Every structure is written in structure tokens, then in C-alpha cells.
Amino acid sequence: MKRTLLFIATNLGIMLVLGITASLLGVNRFLTSNGLDLTKLLMFAGLMGFGGAFISLLLSKPIAKWSTKARVITQPSNSTEQWLLNTVAAQAQRAGIGMPEVAIYEGEPNAFATGATRNSSLVAVSTGLLQSMTEQEVEAVLAHEVAHIANGDMVTLTLIQGVVNTFVIFIARIVGYFVDGMLRKNDEENTGPGIGYMVTVIVCEIVFGILASIIVAWFSRQREFRADRGAANIMGQSQPMVAALRRLGGMAEGELPKNMSAFGISGKGGAMALFSSHPPIEERIAALQAR
């Protein structure tokens, strides 16, 4: 419940900030007496689409820490924490990135990486993962998350999300304007778009948003295959990552906050595979064994 409320509150806050910005810039006045101002509409759509995605990216690390209650390891209190720091440091060096913050959080088996840049990132693992995997399997999971950072996956997915958001907002309003015009073409007192425009925009944003989420999820699944290969390269062999995936396949994965789920080590598949951020474990194992 806390994670859901945080997700809603964050998005409402982002929309409020972007709405005020759009008003100050005047790009929200794309509906004119002469019709749609496509230039202003595109600027409005870009501001809302990319602005929301990049603000979420910038806030990703503090939100992840707060929502999972992750404890960043600054001074190791035991041998496990020291091992985690040493392992991530060695992997980061091999991957050519800055040392990420390393954190532990209470929960079922999972891990994630987040952060706005390759040199300002966070790798977090759950207590459930540490307790249920061998040291080599945990090392493989850490390498997978480090590979996400080295590949710039957080920024890449943000850019993709920004592009699809922009097109959804832009096209929905164009369709809404024309539908409203068709409904009101015999209205001699037509003073601008009415209820038809608003309803059509809402429906189009829902429909186009669903289609857009399928595109984003497809890109996310390709990132997972790439991060698996990156983990194998960092470790010098594929077998530890294969073993870690097999272990994960027999576990109930831990839930992550909505804005972090695409960067976890595992995710949901099944009937909603088109919307899943992660490929099936079997496909990931097969891809690693075929490399």
C-alpha cells in the first residue's frame, strides 16, 4: 500500500509541475480559434512525455531507497556486506563504470539497479536473495545489475518511454479534435472543442497507452537478454548466470515498486507476456547457452 501511494503521489506531483511549466511556457494553448496549433501541441506533448520520464529517472534512486527501505552499505558490519562491496567494486571496474552504491533491503528474492547515470547508480539486493542463493549465484545477479548500469539501460528506457508518451499525447489530441469537429460540424455556435474532444482524448490515451506499453515492454525484454550476456562477460563464463536464473525460476520473486520492476532480476510473465518487462526464464537460459 505504501509503495502504491508513493507511486500515485509521485506521478501527481510530476504532472502538477509539468502542468505549471506548460502554462508558463504557453505551450498548453494549442487549441486556437483557427484550429490546432500543431507546433505548440508537439511542444506540449514533448514536455509532458519526456519531462515526466526524465523527472522519474532523476528521482529513481531516492524513491527506490525509500520505498524498499533499502539500507546503503557505507561501513560493512559483517563479512557478507564486505563481500558485496568488494564484488560490486570489482565488477564495476571490469564494466568501466563508477562504483555504484550498494544496498540491502528486506524482502523476497530479487535485486535491482537504478540511477540517473552510469556513474551515479545503485545496486540493491534483497535479504531473500542472499539467503536462498549460493555466493556464485549472487555474484551473477550482481553482475547482471552492473551490466544494466554499464549498458545505460535506465536512460535508454527513459528515452523510449519519453518518445512513446509524446506520440500518445500528440496523436490522442489530434484524433480528439477531428472527432469533436465531426460531431459538431452543424453547430453554428461552435466556440471550440467540447465534450466530444475530452472524451475522445481520454479514450485514445488509454488505448494508445496500452499499445505503447507493449512497445516499451518489448524493449525492456531485449535489455534483459543483453544484461544476461553482460553478466556472463563480466564473470568470464555463462554458467553462473544460468545457475542463478534456474534458481530464480523455482522461487516466488519479490515485488518491486512499479517504477523499479523493469530493472529487477526477474519479473512476471505468463498470460500477460506482451506486457512483461522480463522474458521467460527458460528463454533467457536458452539464449545464454547458445552464445
Domain hosting residue 116, numbered range: 64-152
What pTM does this model have?
Answer: 0.84
Question: pLDDT value at position 229?
Answer: 95
In a domain, residue 87? The reply is yes
In a domain, residue 110? The reply is yes
**Residue 144 labelled as part of a binding site:** yes
CATH number at residue 101: 3.30.2010.10
In a domain, residue 120? The reply is yes
Question: pLDDT value at position 277?
Answer: 85
In a domain, residue 78? The reply is yes
- Three-class SS state of 69: coil
In a domain, residue 17? The reply is no
How many C-beta atoms surround the C-beta of residue 36 within 10 A?
17
Q: 112 CB contacts (<8 Å, ≥6 apart)? A: 64, 123, 124, 145, 256, 260, 263, 264, 265
145 in catalytic set: yes
**Residue 278 labelled as part of a binding site:** no
Q: Which of 101, 139, 145, 253 is catalytic?
A: 145
Question: pLDDT value at position 147?
Answer: 96
Calpha distance 54→23 (Å, rounded): 19
In a domain, residue 144? The reply is yes
- Give the chain's domain count: 1
Mean pLDDT by 10 residues, the chain (291 residues): 68 85 90 86 95 91 91 94 97 96 93 92 95 95 96 93 95 93 70 82 95 92 95 94 90 53 52 80 92 72
Question: pLDDT value at position 32?
Answer: 82
In a domain, residue 241? The reply is no
In a domain, residue 42? The reply is no
